[in-house]
Amino acid sequence: MTAEFDPRSARAQVAIAGAKGVTAEVLSTQPRKDVIRNTIFASLLFLAIAIALAGLCVLVGKNLVDGWSRLNLDLITQNNSSNPAEAGLRNAIIGTLWIMLFVIGMLVPLGVGAAVFLEEYGNRNSRLIRLIEVNIQNLAGVPSIIYGLLGLAFIARAPLNLGYVVLTAAMTLTLLVLPVVILASREAIRAVPASIREGSLALGATKWQTIRRQVLPASIPGIATGVILAISRAIGETAPLIPLGAATFVTFTPGPFTDFTAMPVTIFNWVKQPQPEFQALAAAGVLLLIALLVVMNSFAIWLRNRYEQTW
């Protein structure tokens, strides 16, 4: 039989050291090919995000430099004026607020209602429902100028014939962002497990009571997130408002039934002016708009993370 193994013997020590060395070698050697590939791949991914961020940095940086001199309280407290030294966004902000108020008022019931119908009442296998679903997704991708023309043709003029007022703008923007809200609300409603609906129905609650008191409350965080994102998109839209006759130069304070204006429209108007002071003003306005959108989107993300139910 073999001789007794003594781990302290010199021979054994050598053998152990050798074995360790081999193991370390095997573990540490990464094929050179793999190293290169990994590095290239990681660099490309980094490049992708760097380009995206660079765009944002240039935008913010350029506007900061251009608009810094006008970035003060006067920007939001002064009405628009033909004198660039006195011009501000006050009436544009009020105009935007009026439009958004009407948008929210129409957007939430319409969007949530459509989502509840599609999720809770529509038969998912029916051809009509599937057709509606596909079209809602397509509508989310339609260019906003098309909605502006639609608003012009059907809302500002006959058949609705509302004229070029706040409500016209709000209805057009509502149509524009409605698909976003419907899709987000459907996601949120679908995320409520069937067991919750069954539990409620098994107690003798009606379908409507179940939707109203279980499904909708549980999906509020998701719906709210979708609504905020939709609103923040609507706030930044200029294109659909131009054909609706947005007043690009107003010095009055807009009300719910007056001619309308909005922040991006005013900024657009300033950019078109020859005076360099207006360019600075426009840059400051852009920064304000970006800041507003960042705050709204951050709030939406916070809301989702904080209140979203995990099942």
Partner 1 sequence: MSNQVTQEERRTEQRQTGFAGDGAGAARPAIEVRAEFQHGAGCGSGEKVFELQDISVFYAGVPAVRDISMDVFRHEVTALIGPSGCGKSTLIRCLNRMNDLIPTAAVEGHLLYHGEDLYGPKVDPIQVRKLIGMVFQKPNPFPKSIYDNIAFGPRVLGMDGDMDEIVERALRSAALWDEVKDRLDANAYSMSGGQQQRLCIARCIAVSPDVILMDEPCSALDPISTGKIEDLMAELKQEFSIVIVTHNMQQAARVSDRTAFLMVELDADETHRWGRIVEYDETEKIFTNPSDQRTEDYVTGKVG
Residues forming the site for partner 1 (CB under 8 A): 123, 193, 195-196, 198-206, 209, 213-214, 217-218, 309
* Min dist. Cβ of residue 195 to partner 1 (A): 4
Least distance (Å) between residue 279 CB and partner 1: 52
Residue number with CB closer to partner 1 (86 or 198): 198
- Smallest gap from residue 198 Cβ to partner 1 (A): 7
8 A C-beta contact, residue 244 and residue 164: yes
Tokens of residue 173, six digits = 């923007």
- In angstroms, what is the minimal distance from the CB of 194 to partner 1? 9
Helix axes 276-307, 216-236, angle to 10 degrees: 170
Q: Which is nearer to partner 1, 216 or 288 (CB)?
A: 216
Q: Are 284 and 270 in contact (CB under 8 A)?
A: no
CA-CA distance, 291 to 53, in Å (whole number)? 16
Q: How far apart are CA 232 and CA 180, in angstroms?
A: 11
CB of 226 to partner 1, least distance (A): 19
Nearer to partner 1, 297 or 309 (CB): 309
- Taking the least distance from each CB to partner 1, the nearer of 141 and 204 is 204
**What type of residue sits at position 265?**
V
Residues whose CB falls within 8 Å of the CB of residue 178, separated by 6 or more in sequence, listed in order: 107, 110, 111, 114, 139, 230
Nearer to partner 1, 196 or 271 (CB): 196
Distance of alpha carbon 79 from alpha carbon 97, whole angstroms: 15
- Between 140 and 201, CB nearer to partner 1: 201
Query: Quick count: other Cβ atoms within 10 Å of Cβ 266?
Result: 28
Query: Which CB, 78 or 214, lies closer to partner 1?
Result: 214
- Cα separation, 76 vs 136, in Å, equals 37
Nearest Cα residue to 287 out of 67, 56, 57, 55: 67
Q: Minimum distance between the CB of residue 206 and partner 1, rounded to whole angstroms?
A: 5
Beta partners for residue 165, in sequence order? 259
From the CB of 181, what's the least distance to partner 1, in Å? 22
Both tokens assigned to 104:
């929210």
